[in-house]
Each structure stands twice: as structure tokens, then as C-alpha cells.
């Protein structure tokens, strides 16, 4: 679109057919609803040259017209934009209230509008929203932040009141509100549209964990604690509504979806039982600060029991190798396991464990560069000189290269010491922000 509009070069975009609604929606919000495009069947990935040529020689699966006829016409036929502006671009501000109705009808309306996660919600009445708002010093009309479901969409804006509405819907108690506002202030969406079906992960640190009775012990990542459950749910609802929507096929393209997204793996770090520095202190905060840290891209988890005496190195290497090379590993360690890592490896700081994990997550260069996600997102950066990828690209095919960067590896302690189970979560750390700023 930039090439066409800004640089004056007539352009046609080719897409795979499953992205029809996304393309239509994106073109519309960018002010070019008639931008020429044509579609070929999904997938392109993994097809042979002959199969791809057949796509090109064939018909657009949506219009039924020859693909190349649409391409040629898109470059040579005048485009009629008349009428598009009035039909498509009139946006009125989102109404503050919904038409009054019965509880049953309103629950159905919220479902039909895709404003929920398809579980029943607490209806956001004026009274409930006011109770939520009473737990922050910030004014209801203050802008908290902006979110979008993917990089090629524009940001939407939300206020303190909008965050409160979503917090009520999630069933959160008013005393949780500063945590939810802090999450909203990150501008990091928990409802990314990525076809990889990622969810978010939320780690709370500092005194507020105990003030609002969050769980960092037994069952912390499960459905057993009201604060953990509803804060994470509120973050998800705020994300999908604050950014406009999260509708499969339109503004959400996760091919398989992700069950983590129901409450975005929200828990408190077990600072009391951890042998190491709390996560937020590692990121520049004081131990007495209350913070929330956001991770995105949560998809896969590797797990095992304990840190064995003889072959723990091999076991951990296998877990790291089991992740996609485009992942970013976060160790989620029960306190028992954290102490075992100290006993086995001498890792008396998280940094030492991270350094070991970096040095021990290796694979042959030929295998690394063949990963589809590495091809999509790392190879372009490597070929144009970005380090450390450019140097890695020079490696001989059988030379071992690092899978991750040290700064992409993290450690969080969580669990109730019922046993030494632990996991590596594939997720990308985004940022840590103050909760106290939103009290």
C-alpha cells in the first residue's frame, strides 16, 4: 500500500485466500479499500515450484477469475474509488453506554458482539465500574494506552474507564484494578493476531502480590486463585476490546488458537521461596516496588522433573533443543528446582543459569537456518548485516550456532514445592512496569 500511495507505483498485492477478510479490513482502515489484490490458495509454504506455478496459472479461489488476469488488470485498469469514502470511512466515537436491556439479553449481546472470551461475564453496570474506578487515583477519561492486534493495523485508544469496564467483565475485584491498569499501560496486546496462536504471560512481583492474595505457590498457574484468574482474564478482554476486536478470520488469525489465552498464564513470582533476585529487581526496580511483567508469544512448554545428578546437562539441552529456534525460553522453576540448579551447576544467580543455557542451546547452522520462522524473521535481518545474525549466517553448515541470545532467556520462580517439576515456556519478554503508578 505504501508503494502505491506514497511512491506512486501501481501495485498489486498477492495473498493466500484464507486472509481475504484480513486484507479487506486492513485496506479499509488504511484508507484504500479498493487497493488491487488477488488471491492464491493457502498454503504457499512447502509447495514445489510446479505446484506454485499451478497456483499462478490457475484461478483466484475467491473470485473464480484467472489469477494473472486479476494481477494484470490491477496494474492497468482504472480504479473506481467513487463512493468509497462515505460508505467506508465514517467512524463515530464508540458509544459510552449500551442500550438498556435485561441481563439475559445483555449477556447475549456481549457474546454476539464478540466482546467476551465466550465465558459468562459480569455485566459492567455504572455502579460496578465506579467501584473499580475508586481504586485508582487516575481520572476515568485519562488515556491509558494504545493497542493493535498486529503491526499492519492502526492503534486503538482506551481510557481508565474502558479498562475498568473490562476489569468488571472479567470478574476482577476493585483492589486488583491497579494491576490491570498497569497491564493496560504496557500497550502490549494479549490478543495478537499472529497465525502462530500465541498467548501472553504475566508475572507480578512485589508487595501487591500479598496485598491482593495472589498465588505464587501450589497451583499458581492453574485455575485456583481469584486474583490470578481474573487479572489475566481482564488483560485478555481489555486487549481484544481496547484494540477494537479479536475475531477469528478478521482480526485474529491464530490457526489453532491457544488455551493459555483464557487468562494469559498470570501468576506471582514466589519471591519468598526463591533463592535468587526477584524478576522485577533484575529489571531495575526495588524489591519494595510492585510491578507486572508481560511476555508474549507463549506457545510451547517443555517440562521435566528435577535436575538429575548425572545427566542434568543433557536433559536441559534436550528441552532447549525441543523449542523452535525462533523461540525465547523462560525457565519457570519450582523453588525445589531452583535450589537444585544451584546444587548441580553452582548457579547461585539467575544470570549464571541464563549464561549456561545460552552456551548450551546449540544446533548445526544448516538446521538453524532451515527453520521456517528463522527464514521468515531472522534470515532477512542477517542478509542485510544485522548482528549477531550476520555472523551466524557465515557459519559452515555443520558448525554449531547458538539458538538464542542471552538477553532472550529468563528465569522466574513459581510453585509450591509439592515436587520439583519445572518447565521452559517459549515466550518473549516485553517489559516490566510499575503497578504503584496506577494506585
Partner 1 sequence: MEKLSVLNPVGYPPKITPKALAPRLDSLDGKTVYLVDPRFDDSGLFLRQLQRWFADNMPTVKTKFIEMNNVYTKDDPKTWEIIKGDGDAAIVGVGH
Tell me the window of 75-83, 200-208, 336-344, 352-360 that interacts with partner 1 (CB under 8 A). Answer: 75-83
Say how far apart CA 80 and CA 421 lie, in whole Å.
62
The contact mask relative to partner 1 for 97-126 (x = CB under 8 A, - = no) is: xx-xxxx--x---x----x-------xxxx
Say how far apart CA 97 and CA 190 lie, in whole Å.
25
Among 210, 255, 318, 375, binds partner 1 (CB under 8 A): 375
Among 21, 24, 32, 304, binds partner 1 (CB under 8 A): 32
Q: What is the DSSP string of 36-74?
A: -EEEEPSP-TT--HHHHHHHHHSB-TTT-SBHHHHHHHH
Of 220, 253, 294, 264, the residue nearest 117 (C-alpha): 264
Per the CB < 8 A criterion, the answer to whether 261 and 234 are in contact is: no
Tell me the window of 149-157, 271-279, 297-305, 312-320 that interacts with partner 1 (CB under 8 A). Answer: 149-157
State the minimum distance, in angstroms, from the CB of residue 83 to partner 1.
11
Among 22, 198, 338, 409, binds partner 1 (CB under 8 A): 22
Say how far apart CA 16 and CA 187 lie, in whole Å.
30
- In whole angstroms, how far apart are CA 46 and each of 38, 365, 371, 372, 390? 20, 20, 12, 10, 25
State the minimum distance, in angstroms, from the CB of residue 334 to partner 1.
37
Among 58, 65, 72, 407, binds partner 1 (CB under 8 A): 72
76-95 residues near partner 1, rule: CB under 8 A: 76-79, 81, 84-85, 88-89, 91, 93-95
- Which residues neighbour 263 within 8 Å (Cβ) at sequence distance 6 or greater? 223, 228, 229, 230, 231, 232, 233, 236
Binding flag, residue 178, partner 1 (CB under 8 A): no
Say how far apart CA 97 and CA 17 lie, in whole Å.
37
Tell me the window of 263-271, 274-282, 379-387, 414-422 that interacts with partner 1 (CB under 8 A). Answer: 379-387
# residues contacting partner 1 (CB under 8 A): 103
State the minimum distance, in angstroms, from the CB of residue 303 to partner 1.
30
State the minimum distance, in angstroms, from the CB of residue 418 to partner 1.
38
Binding flag, residue 372, partner 1 (CB under 8 A): yes
- Which residues neighbour 70 within 8 Å (Cβ) at sequence distance 6 or greater? 12, 36, 38, 60, 63
Using only C-alpha atoms, what is the Rg of the chain?
Answer: 24
Residue 100 or 137: the one with the smaller Cβ distance to partner 1 is 100
Say how far apart CA 195 and CA 202 lie, in whole Å.
21
Among 255, 318, 376, 391, binds partner 1 (CB under 8 A): 376
Residue 94 or 218: the one with the smaller Cβ distance to partner 1 is 94
329-358 residues near partner 1, rule: CB under 8 A: none
The contact mask relative to partner 1 for 242-281 (x = CB under 8 A, - = no) is: xxxx-------x----------------------------
Burial profile 323-357: b = 16 or more Cβ within 10 angstroms, e = fewer: bebbbbbbbbbbbbbbbbbbebeebeebeebbebb
214-243 residues near partner 1, rule: CB under 8 A: 237, 241-243
Binding flag, residue 380, partner 1 (CB under 8 A): yes
Residue 152 or 303: the one with the smaller Cβ distance to partner 1 is 152
Q: Residue 64 CA to chain centroid, in angstroms?
A: 36
- DSSP code for 403: S
48-67 residues near partner 1, rule: CB under 8 A: 49, 52-53, 55-57
Of 200, 191, 115, the residue nearest 153 (C-alpha): 191
Among 29, 62, 247, 355, binds partner 1 (CB under 8 A): 29
**Helix crossing, 177-185 with 160-170: angle to 10°?**
120
Burial of 226 (0-12, 13-18, 19+ CB in 10 A): middle
State the minimum distance, in angstroms, from the CB of residue 49 to partner 1.
6
State the minimum distance, in angstroms, from the CB of residue 264 to partner 1.
17
Residue 348 or 386: the one with the smaller Cβ distance to partner 1 is 386
Of 79, 213, 238, 96, the residue nearest 163 (C-alpha): 238
Binding flag, residue 2, partner 1 (CB under 8 A): yes
Amino acid at each position: 500500500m505504501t508503494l502505491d500511495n506514497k511512491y506512486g507505483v501501481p501495485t498489486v498485492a498477492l495473498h493466500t485466500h484464507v486472509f481475504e477478510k484480513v486484507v479487506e479490513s486492513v485496506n479499509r482502515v488504511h484508507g484504500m479499500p479498493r487497493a488491487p489484490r488477488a488471491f492464491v490458495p493457502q498454503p504457499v509454504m512447502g509447495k514445489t515450484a510446479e505446484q506454485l506455478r499451478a497456483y499462478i496459472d490457475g484461478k483466484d479461489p475467491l473470485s473464480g477469475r484467472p489469477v494473472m488476469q486479476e494481477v494484470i488488470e490491477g496494474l492497468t485498469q482504472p480504479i473506481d474509488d467513487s463512493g468509497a469514502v462515505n460508505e467506508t470511512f465514517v467512524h463515530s466515537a464508540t458509544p459510552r453506554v449500551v442500550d438498556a436491556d435485561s441481563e439475559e439479553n445483555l449477556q447475549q449481546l456481549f457474546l454476539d458482539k464478540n466482546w467476551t472470551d465466550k465465558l459468562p461475564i459480569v455485566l459492567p453496570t455504572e455502579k460496578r465500574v465506579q467501584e473499580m474506578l475508586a481504586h485508582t487515583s487516575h481520572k476515568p477519561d485519562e488515556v491509558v494506552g494504545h493497542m493493535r492486534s498486529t503491526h499492519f493495523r492502526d492503534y486503538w485508544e482506551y481510557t481508565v474507564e474502558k479498562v475498568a469496564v473490562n476489569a468488571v467483565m472479567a470478574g476482577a475485584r476493585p483492589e486488583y484494578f491497579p494491576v490491570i491498569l498497569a497491564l493496560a499501560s504496557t500497550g502490549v496486546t494479549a490478543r495478537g493476531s499472529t497465525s502462530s496462536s500465541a498467548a501472553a504471560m504475566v508475572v507480578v512481583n512485589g508487595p501487591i502480590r500479598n496485598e491482593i492474595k495472589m498465588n505464587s505457590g501450589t497451583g499458581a498457574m492453574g485455575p485456583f486463585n481469584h486474583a490470578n484468574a481474573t487479572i489475566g482474564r481482564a488483560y485478555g478482554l481489555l486487549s481484544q476490546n481496547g484494540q477494537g476486536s479479536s475475531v477469528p478470520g478478521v482480526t485474529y488469525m491464530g490457526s489453532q488458537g491457544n488455551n493459555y489465552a483464557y487468562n494469559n498464564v498470570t501468576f506471582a513470582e514466589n519471591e519468598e521461596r526463591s533463592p535468587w533476585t526477584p524478576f522485577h529487581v533484575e529489571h531495575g526496580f526495588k524489591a519494595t516496588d510492585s510491578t507486572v511483567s508481560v511476555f508474549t508469544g507463549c506457545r510451547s512448554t517443555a517440562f521435566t522433573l528435577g535436575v538429575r545428578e548425572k545427566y542434568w546437562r543433557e536433559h536441559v539441552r534436550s528441552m532447549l533443543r525441543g523449542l523452535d529456534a525462533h523461540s525465547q525460553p523462560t525457565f519457570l522453576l519450582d523453588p525445589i528446582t531452583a535450589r537444585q540448579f544451584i546444587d548441580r551447576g553452582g548457579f547461585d544467580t539467575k544470570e549464571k543459569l541464563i549464561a549456561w543455557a545460552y552456551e548450551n542451546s546449540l544446533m548445526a547452522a544448516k538446521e538453524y537456518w532451515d527453520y521456517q520462522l528463522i527464514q521468515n524473521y531472522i534470515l532477512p535481518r542477517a542478509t542485510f548485516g544485522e548482528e549477531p545474525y550476520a555472523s551466524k549466517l557465515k557459519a559452515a553448515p555443520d558448525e554449531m550456532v547458538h539458538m538464542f541470545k542471552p538477553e532472550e532467556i529468563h528465569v522466574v520462580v513459581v510453585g509450591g514445592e509439592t515436587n520439583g517439576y519445572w518447565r521452559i515456556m517459549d515466550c518473549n519478554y516485553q517489559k516490566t512496569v510499575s503497578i504503584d503508578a496506577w494506585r
